Amino acid sequence: MSTQTLERPSVPPPGPPGAGRRPAVVIRSALARWGLRGTALLYLGLVVALPTVAVITRGFEDGLQSLRDALNAPGAREAIVLTLVLAAVTAIINIVFGTLIAYVLVRYRFPGRGWLSTIVDIPFAIPTLVTGVMLRALYGPNSLIGGFLEGNGIHVIFAQLGILLALLFVTLPLVVRTVQPVLLEIDEAEEEAARVLGATRWYTFRRVVLPKLRSGIAAGGLLAFARAIGEFGAVVIVSGNIIGKTLTAPVLIFQLASQFQPNQAAAVATLLFAISFVLVLVTERLVGARNKDAV
Amino acid sequence: MSNPGELRVPVLPSGTRRRLVHGGFIAIALLYVGILVIAPLIGIAWAVFQAGWSTIVSTLRQPDVQHAFYLTGVITVITVIVTSIFGVIVALVIARDRFPGRALMSALVDLPLAVSPVIVGLMAVVLFGLGGWFEPWFTSQGIRILFALPSMVLVTIFICIPFVIREVVPVLQEVGITEEEAARTLGASSLQTFFRVTLKNIRWGLLYGIALTTARSIGEIGAVLIVSGQITGQTETATLYVLRAFDQFQDDPGFVVALTLALVSIVLLVLIETFKRRQERMQRT
């Protein structure tokens, strides 16, 4: 998850300029330096790198056969397509509303602003499974709203709409907290200048604000997409896992793993993992490029 | 501020227009989080209220439920201790050391964020399950990893690795080394400098990272589900209990435990916001 983009203030480091940016090799004794390096590498190597390598080798132990088997299983392709489509829709919707919320939080002062900011972080804190349970409590067949919606032919629980709501919930803070720091850096004077020169509000937003926000919005959207591809807890309990209809890729991996098909599970996992890891790397680039511009 | 609206013969006075646009944006923002975030919270509170007080009491008195909370607590405590100690070490290396491979190290730190929890669970199965790389050795030693506490702790640590590191690294970079150098010049040893100066400087960032880790490990489900084997009363965490309750159409106890978890995480969120504010204040001064 996810939490990498919690609001981080972008104030310049205090003290003389550049004091914090200096490549600071302060770990003086060689023993301490190598001790720290060794511990860090061993920790990350054993806990992160080794298991990752293990899954990838397991998935391709017998070439592409496991992947082919996994994809030929009933509902597997549909599950992967559904996951990618829902993740894309989630990212797009939350880019629109997330940017709007970030804009409102940064530029407007109104009663309830602090509350809005805290509410945006709620999905970070709430266990993902509880997210699914909450949706079920609200839209489930025995609930007030759920009964009404079912009566009008709208199905939320055990339907794709429920999965979408779960994904939107889980990824909302990712977009808001990625766009917000970028907005904070933009000088409001430029917007004012554009307005004084006769630009309309929408034109100002499109030509002055949006170009600077582009990398932030893209980064937030990609993070949301990557997160949505892998989401399990919030989805498993609202989707009903109907093969070919509401079965998502992470749930498929879970089913393969618990049916003692670790090779096929690993093959599908590697596919998903490759997509989301590339996305996260691209995001880091985007955010990194922005930070370089800012300095 | 001059008003460009005047040039275009506005339908409404500019002040009214601005207020309408602002008000509209704020209303849309509030409406969106209201429907998406607040309504489900009300939904679960209502569901538990419907279930009634006696269901709440009887659910929380079930030995299975109590053991599930206990197990979640044990996993969380171990995860927090391990990821904090090693996290600070990794953060120090990333922020203060320069060597080839440092970029790879940062990438490894971010990797768990890109991996679906289900895949993390699968990793443990591939390593410790039947036919796994380490399975023969641990079996010969009679140590049970899969379907037992060790694998559940391991997958939670994997998932929580980034939180402390990503909060502490920027703080370390921003406070710089001036104070540490001063302490060293005044004769403090490395360890003294670390505990008296460095640790003091990063404390709010570290606590923030720990709060995030706690929230995440309490709520972990995908990875733990795969490695735990879901043995009731033994390897069942609070979230696994909720999942089983719904699988067995025991919705009411499921709602009660889920609401308890939600309340715990909201308390954590308040702590998180406090730490964040403290840290921002410290950076400003």
| Residue among A40, A122, A258 whose CB faces B93 most closely | A40
Q: How large is the average pLDDT for residues A217-236?
A: 92
Q: What is the pLDDT of residue B48?
A: 93
- Phi and psi at B196, nearest 5°, equal -90, -30
Is A154 an 8 Å CB contact of chain B? no
Most confidently modeled of A64-78, A166-180, B192-206, B264-278?
A166-180
Task: Give pTM, 2 decimals.
Answer: 0.86
Shortest distance, CA B132 to any CA of chain A (angstroms)? 9
Query: What residue of A is the nearest CA neighbor of B281?
Result: A9
Is B31 an 8 Å CB contact of chain A? no
Give the separation between CA B273 and CA A249, rounded to whole angstroms. 34
Q: Which long-range CB contacts under 8 A does A157-160 form with residues at least 24 apart?
A: A157/A238, A157/A240, A158/A238, A158/A239, A158/A240, A158/A242, A158/A246, A159/A240, A159/A246, A160/A82, A160/A86, A160/A245, A160/A246
| Residue among A3, A37, A272 whose CB faces B97 most closely | A37
In chain A, which among 56-115 make CB contacts under 8 A with chain B? Answer: 58, 97, 100-101, 103-105, 108, 110, 112
Q: Which residues of A touch B170 (CB under 8 A)?
A: 8
Q: How large is the average pLDDT for residues A150-156?
A: 87
CB atoms within 10 A of CB A74: 10
Is B15 an 8 Å CB contact of chain A? no
In chain B, which among 197-256 make CB contacts under 8 A with chain A? Answer: 212, 215-216, 218-222, 225-226, 239, 242-243, 246, 251, 254-255
Q: Which of A262-266, A286-290, B66-70, B181-185 has the lowest mean pLDDT?
A: A286-290
End-to-end Cα spacing for chain A: 28
Q: What is the pLDDT of residue B121?
A: 93
Q: How large is the average pLDDT for residues A168-187?
A: 91
Q: How large is the average pLDDT for residues A27-35?
A: 77
Is B75 an 8 Å CB contact of chain A? no
* ipTM given for this complex: 0.86
Q: What is the pLDDT of residue A84?
A: 93
Query: What residue of B is the nearest CA neighbor of A164?
Result: B36
Q: With H, G, I as helix, E, B as strand and everything else as coil, classify residue B184.
A: helix
Tokens representing B44 are 């679960």
